Amino acid sequence: MQATNITDNTAHLQIGNTFSTSPKNVTDDWCNDYTRPSALSILPHSAPLGIQFYNPAYPSLGPQFAGSAFVSYHGPTGHKIVIVPFNNGRLAAPATTQEGTVDFIWTDKSIDLTECLSELNPSSKVKCIR
């Protein structure tokens, strides 16, 4: 696949599709034999920083979160914590949807992250999550 097939989507890619920009010797059969498709789709250009599964035996957020994962990550819009819902130990949403994660806590897009209160910037009055 050429990069232009991705940018103008002439390849008709959908959320969660697996694709390669490698040489022509990478075929659908090769991908089916040697790769695994995505299990979860997240915001593009995001970097997951940590994951914690919710244990309702500790101070409770409510039973609706039992078994779900909380993932913190940094992305193009700042820092965010999302919930990844699970049902009976399996992801609740398929990788072909944007509904695999639910925003829980996030940094407002209007905040200049360089102005956040931190050890490096103790005079700031802006509190941000990190």
- What per-residue confidence (pLDDT) applies to 59? 62
Beta strand spans in the chain (E): 47-53, 69-75, 78-84, 86-87, 90-91, 102-106
Is the C-alpha dihedral spanning 110, 111, 113, 115 positive or negative?
positive
Predicted local distance difference test score (pLDDT) of residue 70: 92
**Is-above-0.85 flag for pTM?**
no
- Rounded to the nearest integer, the mean pLDDT of the chain is 78
Which residue in the block uniquely carries the two structure tokens 């075929």? 27
CA 35 centroid distance within chain: 20
What are the sequence ranges of the domains in the chain?
3-34, 47-115
CA–CA separation, 83 and 68 (whole Å): 7
The helix (H) or strand (E) run that includes residue 48 is strand 47-53
